[in-house]
């Protein structure tokens, strides 16, 4: 019999995306179909979501959901079976999903995402006519309270999985919001929503979950330590028998160099020469000189997590070695300014586009030689997976999912023909310098470089293996509950 899964999240590609979370939430349902699992995904009714719904049906109405009227709409969009929480007072806003254009968080985020989670728990309790999930899987702090609402309500026995995509974002609020959450008094406390005297949404989810997953095996280990645990390592160590590290995959239809409408010319592992047209288009787009030096690309949020300050300090070195850099990103204003400054200093060698541009990110993977990812921590990371698939070799810090997905070009790996990228010690400026120099060196040897590109493009970055692991976990939880 088909297993019915309710997934709850604050982003879903292609309707609303600020990062990898959206890619994962958008791709996993399709991958689970092969495992005999049918998913519906509950997401907030942001303007960009509502405008894509087309024919939608209201399957539940609320007169008073945390003080506002709301409806749950059911719709199919791009193969996704969606439940959309249409609560205009909460979600019909100009700006991003979590804050205004200026980057300030919305003051009522506690209420917006408690509402999303409350509705998730209601659905788990069977309030939709004709559909009740066997299992509930929620993502990050914005949806984590679903597990807490379930645990303290009639759906306590329905298995609940909480996935950590990034422990740096925990959804912490003051103790005063507790009264507004509609939870019973026993939900307060160290075994409930209380967190260092306030309230922690992710924390509440982690103590309530039947299984905790995170998006790579290495990150699952790292978050048990104080450095990466960010205050939650104690709790996570206490529940370690419930913790699973399952790698993300990528949607191999959307990210397919041999049939990608967003690139200048399609190519495959046997037709690598097709990359040249993409390289030319990339050089043109970023105003880069036409020569043989390797083109490094960066497609990233510009933040401390991503090691972008380390990157700025490495640009002169990169240019000095005859390489070029094309960067697409947005984030912290001082970092944006510093990259724009570097582009000014190194015309023809460094090109920078500040902003968010999904199509351009495809062309960069197709035309670039190597993608730089110097993250201080990285739960999984998706851009290195796109890089592998496109033969744009990942140059990555040895942390989290980066360590789990790239094979460093050491002597043994190169001679065995299995190397797919370059790895270096995280948070270490000299190690980053060294890695850039190694890439320039490797790139000079066309035979070695192309062998690495082919090995990279052979890597299995699909969802197949991970979907099997999620399915096995769901089945184990259902067996335990029965």
Residues forming the site for ligand GLC (CB under 6 A): 19-21, 24, 165-166, 215, 248, 378-382, 401
Listed residue (335, 432, 279) closest to 103, CA to CA: 335
Q: Look at the block and give the residue holding tokens 């960066």.
A: 298
Taking the least distance from each CB to ligand ADP, the nearer of 304 and 356 is 356
Residue among 5, 20, 128, 377 that touches ligand ADP (CB under 6 A): 20
Taking the least distance from each CB to ligand ADP, the nearer of 123 and 308 is 308
Structure tokens at 146: 């679903």
Taking the least distance from each CB to ligand ADP, the nearer of 60 and 285 is 285
Residue 213: CB minimum distance to ligand GLC, A: 10
Q: Which three-class secondary structure string do you get for 121-171?
A: HHHHCCCCCCCCCCEEEEEHHHHHHHHHHHHCCCCCCCCEEEEECCCCCCC
Taking the least distance from each CB to ligand ADP, the nearer of 108 and 357 is 357
Residue among 357, 454, 468, 475 that touches ligand ADP (CB under 6 A): 357
| Rounded distance between C-alpha atoms, residue 208 and residue 148, angstroms | 5
Residue 185: CB minimum distance to ligand ADP, A: 37
| Rounded distance between C-alpha atoms, residue 398 and residue 151, angstroms | 37
Residue 412: CB minimum distance to ligand GLC, A: 28
> What sign does the CA torsion over 340, 346, 347, 350 have?
negative
Query: Would you count residue 171 as binding ligand ADP (CB under 6 A)?
Result: no
Structure tokens at 408: 């460093």
Segment 400 to 459, residues that bind ligand ADP, using CB under 6 A = none
Listed residue (261, 221, 219) closest to 240, CA to CA: 221
Residues facing 120 on adjacent strands: none
Q: Look at the block and give the residue holding tokens 């100009």.
A: 94
Half-sphere exposure of 83 (CA within 13 A, CB side): 27
Taking the least distance from each CB to ligand GLC, the nearer of 165 and 362 is 165
Q: Which does 256 bind (CB under 5 to 8 A by kind): ligand ADP, ligand GLC, none?
A: none
DSSP H or E run through 396: strand 393-397
Taking the least distance from each CB to ligand ADP, the nearer of 380 and 419 is 380
CB 226 within 8 A of CB 233: yes
Structure tokens at 152: 């303290």
The 3-state DSSP class for residue 112 equals helix
Query: Would you count residue 36 as binding ligand ADP (CB under 6 A)?
Result: no
Residue 229: CB minimum distance to ligand GLC, A: 15
Listed residue (473, 458, 461) closest to 35, CA to CA: 473
Segment 276 to 305, residues that bind ligand ADP, using CB under 6 A = 299-301
Query: Would you count residue 361 as binding ligand ADP (CB under 6 A)?
Result: yes
Structure tokens at 360: 């351009």
φ, ψ (nearest 5 deg) of residue 474: -60, -45
Residue among 191, 289, 358, 460 that touches ligand ADP (CB under 6 A): 358
> What sign does the CA torsion over 295, 386, 53, 165 have?
negative
Taking the least distance from each CB to ligand ADP, the nearer of 75 and 342 is 342
Chain position whose Cβ is nearest to ligand ADP: 20
Query: Would you count residue 249 as binding ligand ADP (CB under 6 A)?
Result: no
Query: Would you count residue 330 as binding ligand ADP (CB under 6 A)?
Result: yes
CB 248 within 8 A of CB 197: no
Q: Which does 358 bind (CB under 5 to 8 A by kind): ligand GLC, ligand ADP, none?
A: ligand ADP
Q: Which does 330 bind (CB under 5 to 8 A by kind): ligand GLC, ligand ADP, none?
A: ligand ADP
Residue 57: CB minimum distance to ligand ADP, A: 31
| Rounded distance between C-alpha atoms, residue 193 and residue 351, angstroms | 46
Residue 11: CB minimum distance to ligand ADP, A: 9
Phi-psi region of 189 (alpha: psi -120 to 50; beta: other; left: phi over 0): left
Residue 402: CB minimum distance to ligand GLC, A: 8
Q: Which does 78 bind (CB under 5 to 8 A by kind): ligand GLC, ligand ADP, none?
A: none
Query: Would you count residue 19 as binding ligand ADP (CB under 6 A)?
Result: yes
| Rounded distance between C-alpha atoms, residue 145 and residue 136, angstroms | 12
Query: Would you count residue 329 as binding ligand ADP (CB under 6 A)?
Result: yes
Q: Which does 471 bind (CB under 5 to 8 A by kind): ligand ADP, ligand GLC, none?
A: none
Q: Which does 215 bind (CB under 5 to 8 A by kind): ligand ADP, ligand GLC, none?
A: ligand GLC
Q: Look at the block and give the residue holding tokens 């209420």.
A: 111
Residues facing 331 on adjacent strands: 302
Q: Which does 209 bind (CB under 5 to 8 A by kind): ligand GLC, ligand ADP, none?
A: none
Residue 211: CB minimum distance to ligand GLC, A: 16
Where along the sequence are the contacts to ligand ADP (CB under 6 A)? 19-21, 23, 299-301, 328-330, 356-358, 361, 380-383
């Amino acid at each position: 019999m088909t297993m019915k899964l309710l997934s709850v999240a604050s982003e879903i590609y292609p309707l609303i995306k600020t990062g990898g979370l959206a890619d994962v939430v958008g791709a996993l349902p399709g991958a689970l179909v092969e495992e005999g699992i049918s998913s519906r995904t509950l997401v907030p009714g942001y303007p960009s979501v509502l405008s894509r719904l087309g024919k939608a049906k209201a399957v539940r109405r609320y007169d008073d959901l945390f003080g506002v009227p709301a409806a749950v709409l059911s719709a199919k969009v791009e193969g996704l079976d969606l439940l959309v929480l249409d609560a205009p007072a909460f979600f019909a806003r100009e700006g991003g999903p979590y804050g205004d254009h200026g980057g300030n968080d919305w003051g009522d985020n506690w209420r917006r995402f408690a509402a999303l989670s409350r509705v998730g728990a209601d659905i788990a309790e069977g309030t939709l006519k004709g559909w009740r999930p066997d299992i509930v899987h929620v993502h990050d702090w914005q949806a984590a309270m679903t597990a807490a609402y379930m645990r303290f309500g009639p759906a306590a026995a329905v298995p609940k999985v909480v996935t950590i995509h990034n422990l740096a974002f925990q959804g912490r609020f003051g103790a005063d919001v507790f009264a507004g959450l509609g939870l019973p008094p026993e939900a307060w406390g160290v075994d409930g929503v209380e967190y260092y005297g306030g309230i922690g949404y992710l924390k509440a989810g982690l103590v309530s979950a039947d299984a905790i997953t995170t998006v790579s095996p290495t990150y699952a280990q790292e978050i048990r330590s104080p450095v990466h645990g960010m205050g939650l390592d104690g709790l996570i160590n206490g529940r370690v028998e419930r913790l699973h590290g399952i790698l993300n995959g990528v949607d191999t239809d959307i990210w397919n160099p041999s049939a990608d409408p967003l690139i200048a010319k399609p190519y495959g592992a046997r037709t690598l020469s097709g990359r040249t047209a993409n390289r030319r288009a990339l050089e043109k787009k970023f105003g880069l000189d036409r020569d043989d030096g390797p083109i490094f690309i960066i497609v990233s949020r510009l933040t401390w997590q991503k090691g972008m300050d380390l990157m700025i300090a490495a640009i002169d070195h990169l240019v000095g070695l005859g390489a070029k850099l094309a960067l697409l990103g947005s984030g912290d204003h001082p970092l944006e300014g510093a990259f724009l400054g570097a582009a000014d200093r190194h015309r023809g060698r460094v090109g920078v586009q500040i902003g968010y541009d999904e199509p351009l990110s495809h062309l960069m993977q197709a035309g670039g030689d190597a993608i730089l990812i110097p993250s201080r921590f990285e739960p999984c990371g998706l851009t290195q997976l796109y890089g592998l698939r496109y033969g744009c070799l990942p140059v990555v810090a040895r942390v989290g999912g980066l360590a789990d997905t790239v094979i460093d070009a050491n002597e043994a790996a190169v001679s065995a023909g299995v190397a797919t990228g370059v790895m270096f010690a995280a948070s270490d400026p000299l190690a980053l310098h060294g890695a850039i120099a190694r890439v320039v060196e490797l790139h000079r040897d066309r035979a070695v470089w192309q062998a690495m590109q082919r090995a990279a493009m052979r890597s299995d970055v699909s969802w197949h293996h991970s979907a099997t692991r999620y399915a096995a976990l769901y089945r184990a939880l259902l067996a335990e509950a029965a």
